[in-house]
Amino acid sequence: MAEDDIEVGESIEITELVDDNGDVIGTVVDDVMVVTSEDGSIVEETIEVFDADGNLVVEEDVVDVYDADGNLVAEAGDIIIEE
């Protein structure tokens, strides 16, 4: 990787939550974004839980920062519960 190169990647997974009858009662969206350079990486993961009507119920957002050797140097996170 050249000294000033930055790579960005994103992965989004959506999972349906079903009850015993197979009816969808909600969804979970897991969105991971990674930004990497020669100096280290930043990983942001957002997990959102929606009810069957599409209303946001819970959201968790975590940001991890790694140095060039892959050591975790900082972490921040929030959990938001909608009412």
Q: Above 70 in pLDDT, residue 1?
A: no
Provide the pLDDT confidence category of residue 80 given band limits of 50, 70 and 90. confident
> Is 18 domain-assigned?
yes
Q: Which pLDDT belongs to residue 81?
A: 87
Provide the pLDDT confidence category of residue 45 given band limits of 50, 70 and 90. very high
> Is 75 domain-assigned?
yes
Give the largest CA-CA distance in the chain.
Answer: 55
pLDDT in tens, 11-42: 999 999 999 999 999 999 999 999 999 999 99
> Is 72 domain-assigned?
yes
Measured CA distances, 26 to 7, 43, 56, 65, 83 (Å): 33, 26, 10, 31, 16
Per the structure, the count of domains in the chain is: 1
> Is 74 domain-assigned?
yes
> Is 1 domain-assigned?
no
